[in-house]
Amino acid sequence: MLKVASIPNVHLYTYTNIEDISGFIGNFKVKLRRKARFVTEDCNGCGACVEACPAYGFDEFNENMNSRKAIYTYFAQAVPSIAQIDMDRCIQCGICEDVCELNAIDFDQKDTIESLTVGSIIVATGLDVHKGKEYGRGTYSNILTQLELERILAPNGPTKGHLVRPSDGKRPKKILFVNCAGSRDKKTHFYCSVVCCNLSIKNSKLIKSEYPDTEIVVSFIDMRCAGKDYEEYYRMARDSGIVFVRGHVGKIKEDPKTKDLIVQIEAFGMDRFLEMEFDLIILSSASIPPKSAKKVEKMLGLETSRDGFFKEAHSRLNLIDTKIPGISIAGASQGPKTIPDAITQGRAAASSLTSILHKDKYEILLIRGHIEKDACARCGLCALNCPYNAIITTKSGLEVNEILCRGCGTCLANCPSEAITLKYYPESQYEKQIDAILS
């Protein structure tokens, strides 16, 4: 972030939501809502206001596992390093105003709307994780996701990197990692989330390195450690004493007194259930599309595949571009992937769009839909079924946006009035070709 912020002609819009996107390649109109921080850009991030603030809220960056002040910096390396006020927690006591030497506190600040014109768009919405309620997460206090464990093990996390149980703050001595929690399951998410196997190995090894006496069991369906040096890493984990059990986790019960977790594991190939007791359970939860992706999908007119992630132009030959010229996808917006793969796809998306934007013109084949307004009944079925949002309603009737239209013929097939034709491919032309073939 720091490096990106220092590059000329790169503008970072942080704490900002996208309200609307319209237009086409070379001329996308983007409406942004810059949310009020209630702190001006004069702030230098000194932290005096944070120390003085008496109100508290939950720290979202640390997965709500600890508290933070009502005025806060989102995380230590945030860019820009400016405080912001959580008005849901703020008691408006005015202490922050009194201690701020730069007079940067502004309780009258409002959201502002800005408009941009851009030539192309890269969609990189990231991902969320499956909540794992079927395993008891949210009901039993000592069940965490890998994201929560990552924050606990981080030196700047809620426990300064020391592993403790949420229920009593004690160090867990027996831990179960549950791989494929919500993945590869027809009842939740049918696909593999790619990173879970290596993530469970990495974090179990981190725990072992600090607490060698910890007993760690990893339950898995298949260990998918494909990639350079990953299989060797898996072997090192087994050599360090981490136990890998191929099976499926069934029932989980909590001892109400100790808060320990009693787990039944269906061990594949053994035709029986193993019942084991653990201090802590870590769920390697499925990667899922974030809620914000639905809004982006609707604004841009993109498609999603069965897994809910954005659909690429071709699942094997072109994972970068979308069906709409000028819009590419990168990272986990296209599907679960590792950090190296996400970086590679991000670079490829930038390269793909740069190859278009450096030209003076963008050429298209004018095989486009055309609406005969005299025959059109204005039922709107064509606009409803158009996968490219290329048909718009005007005062004079329905019209085809020739830039957005891709000539797929969906509108033609859905028109009950037969008022739509494809330029250069009229029905009369096909009839004559058929007549010539049969003559």
Domain-located, residue 48: yes
Annotate 365-382 with b (16+ C-beta within 10 A) or e (fewer).
eeebbbbeeeebeeeebb
Domain span at 284: 130-288
> Distance between terminal CA atoms of the chain?
69
Residue 198 shares a structural domain with residue 226: yes
Domain-located, residue 389: yes
pTM: 0.88
Residue 260 shares a structural domain with residue 378: no
Residue 282 shares a structural domain with residue 163: yes
Fill in the DSSP letter of residue 198.
H
120 vs 117, 190, 328, 350, CA distance in Å?
9, 33, 8, 10
Residue 267 shares a structural domain with residue 312: no
Fill in the DSSP letter of residue 173.
S
Domain-located, residue 362: no
Residue 108 shares a structural domain with residue 217: no
Q: Identify the CA nearest to 278 among candidates 360, 219, 235.
A: 219
359 contacts 334 by C-beta, under 8 angstroms: no
DSSP state string for 8-30? TT-----SEEEEEEEEETTEEEE
Residue 78 shares a structural domain with residue 112: yes
Residue 143 shares a structural domain with residue 280: yes
Phi, psi at residue 323, to the nearest 5°?
Answer: -70, -15
Pair of tokens at residue 306:
């069965």
* 220, containing H or E segment: strand 215-220
Residue 197 shares a structural domain with residue 61: no
Residue 249 shares a structural domain with residue 305: no
DSSP state string for 38-52? SB-TT-----HHHHH
196: CATH: 3.50.50.60
The CA distance from 403 to 416, in Å, is: 24
Domain-located, residue 16: yes
Domain-located, residue 98: yes
Q: Which of 83, 118, 153 is the endpoint of a domain?
A: 118
404: CATH: 3.30.70.20
Residue 259 shares a structural domain with residue 341: no
Residue 268 shares a structural domain with residue 158: yes
The string of pLDDT tens digits covering residues 150-189 is: 999 999 999 999 999 999 999 999 999 999 999 999 999 9
- Cα-to-chain-centroid distance, residue 374: 46
Q: Point out the residues of the chain with pLDDT beneath 70.
A: none
Residue 110 shares a structural domain with residue 11: yes
Domain-located, residue 80: yes
Q: Which of 260, 288, 316 is the endpoint of a domain?
A: 288
What is the domain count for the chain?
4
The CA distance from 127 to 333, in Å, is: 7
Domain-located, residue 86: yes
Domain-located, residue 364: no
Q: Which of 77, 96, 118 is the endpoint of a domain?
A: 118
pLDDT at 198: 96
